């Protein structure tokens, strides 16, 4: 998958009044809006999967051949095949859930702004 980089910025301000502190905070996640695929389909089928069909060799269209991993070198297309969607993203990226910073999906979280205000005592 793609290399990932992100630059985040944060500004914090606190204003204490006796035993209470009021605060304001602003965050910008992925400031330069870098975009990358961070996940995707990694399905590989072997003879243990009924959907593993040979794509090369004399028996094209038949089930993949078994192999002994200790003595044989598996060959792609004969002993194993990648899924048709191998490497492609499966789910779009959304923010949310328990943490607003958590990206749920196969892409890097786009530029995101977070603001919070409150008091501590």
Angle at 108 between CA 107 and CA 109, to 5 degrees: 115
Would you say 60 and 39 are in contact if contact means Cβ atoms under 8 Å apart?
no
pTM above 0.75, yes or no: no
Q: How many CB atoms lie within 10 A of CB 25?
A: 14
For the chain, the average pLDDT equals 89
pLDDT in tens, 57-71: 888 999 999 999 899
């Amino acid at each position: 998958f793609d290399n990932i980089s992100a630059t985040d910025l944060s500004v914090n301000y606190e204003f204490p009044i006796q035993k209470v502190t009021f605060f304001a905070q602003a965050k910008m996640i992925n400031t330069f809006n870098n975009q990358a695929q961070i996940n995707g389909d990694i399905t590989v089928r072997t003879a243990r999967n009924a959907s593993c069909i040979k794509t090369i060799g004399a028996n094209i269209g038949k089930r993949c051949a078994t192999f002994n991993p200790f003595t044989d070198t598996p060959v792609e297309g004969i002993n194993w095949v990648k899924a048709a969607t191998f490497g492609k993203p499966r789910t779009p990226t959304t923010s949310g859930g328990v943490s607003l910073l958590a990206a749920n999906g196969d892409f890097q979280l786009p530029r995101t702004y977070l603001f919070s205000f409150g008091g501590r005592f």
